[in-house]
Structure 1
């Protein structure tokens, strides 16, 4: 039975890594999957972060190799998230399992809805207006709080904040995003470690699948592929949300 769990999580991790490259939102699969193999909400939440931490390390190294980095600014933005992220992680390990699953199911449904809103992408970089840049402080704290608590979909939030408030180029938005998530993931992972909410074998298995899926996704180029992935992901997420709500 333990081998079946490892095989399942490796498969889900592979799918999540692939989806992260093609469309984003892979954690919306991995966190429910960890719950379905028998982990409680807090343990699943912590274990998922093992894979995310390793994924973040490789993502930052990848940007560095391509010469895309602004470490000082990335660190400044990361520090804004730390208080919220730690508070969120502490909330996550103290909330009841039933409530965590209810909240997760609502978040999953919200992610599915957001996937089908049109997004406007612009390649040029503009200068942020001084009167709006102050908004980044409370926004980063809030996103950090959410990320520390549940993590699912947090990448979309960081990208929206960095793009719309700071008016950064989308390439640098993505670079800052992966750096910020890696930085706050370390103290939140420590919270789950100290409270005994990490399952290392399952987390490392998930991480291995993520790596394979990410490599596969990076080499997969089919016209219209992202749209197909979004529809498949939406159906999978809705099934998981319904299961978490006890509908079947």
Structure 2
């Protein structure tokens, strides 16, 4: 693929995606369609996006750690479980037909939007963290399947984690976000290995996108406290709806 200066548009797209992925989720709903629209086959776009996610989440983990926010070793247990699942999901993704993948992505985008609009409001209940015993075992079990989904497509997985972690394990929004980015970083290692071995990564576009993703994630991880997310929510709803329609029909 010859270089085009239009590809530099991936930097601001990546910045927004990295920011959104860190404070909530949904960034992949912007970057993955963007890579497809730049001409990459769906499996290659999926693999290329993982490089940016890998660096983005590492930057976010470091950013949270610099602020003293960590749930280790709880996050490590979830990360290992999700890592095992990611190998399965990524292997499924590299062998899927491109048109079918676009249709699946379109459906997932709409489902995530419906979750954003009609999903439960975050409520941290009694404020007690539950990161050992039965809540830990249940979370490890659930995150194996989240790892399969994350390895396959990753889109919108942050929203799912931000539902599970507060309600099941009693984590605050800040600690849920810190746990989320660590888990995604760990299981993305597995996904990158699979996509790289299958030669499904465009490293030039991955590098460009990574600049934006990592910058957005670093900024968001240091800024990340409870904010009014109405503007971000409606930005995602409008943008992702448009991309989903285009993916389905074109």
- d(CA) in 1 for partners of 2:215 and 2:205? 16
Q: Is the 1:13–1:208 Cα contact (8 Å) retained in structure 2? A: yes
Query: What displacement does 1:194 show?
Result: 0.5
- d(CA) in 2 for partners of 1:121 and 1:175? 18
**Residue 39 of structure 1 corresponds to which residue in structure 2?**
40
Query: What displacement does 1:95 show?
Result: 1.0
**Residue 160 of structure 1 corresponds to which residue in structure 2?**
163
Q: Is the 2:82–2:146 Cα contact (8 Å) retained in structure 1? A: yes
- d(CA) in 1 for partners of 2:90 and 2:221? 31
Give the secondary-structure state (helix, strand or coil) at the position aligned to 1:126. coil
Query: What displacement does 1:70 show?
Result: 3.5
Structure 1: state its 5+ residue gaps: none
**Residue 171 of structure 1 corresponds to which residue in structure 2?**
174
CA RMSD between the two structures:
2.6
Structure 2: state its 5+ residue gaps: none
Which residue, 123, 126, 139 being the options, matches 1:121? 123
Provide TM-score, normalisation by structure 1.
Answer: 0.88
Query: What displacement does 1:199 show?
Result: 0.9
- d(CA) in 1 for partners of 2:195 and 2:233? 31
Provide TM-score, normalisation by structure 2.
Answer: 0.87
- d(CA) in 2 for partners of 1:163 and 1:226? 18
Give the stretch that moved more between structures: 112-121 or 28-37.
112-121
- d(CA) in 2 for partners of 1:107 and 1:68? 31
Q: Does 1:142 align with 2:142?
A: no
- d(CA) in 1 for partners of 2:161 and 2:109? 17
Query: What displacement does 1:73 show?
Result: 2.2
Give the secondary-structure state (helix, strand or coil) at the position aligned to 1:49. helix
- d(CA) in 2 for partners of 1:217 and 1:67? 15
Q: Is the 1:23–1:229 Cα contact (8 Å) retained in structure 2? A: no
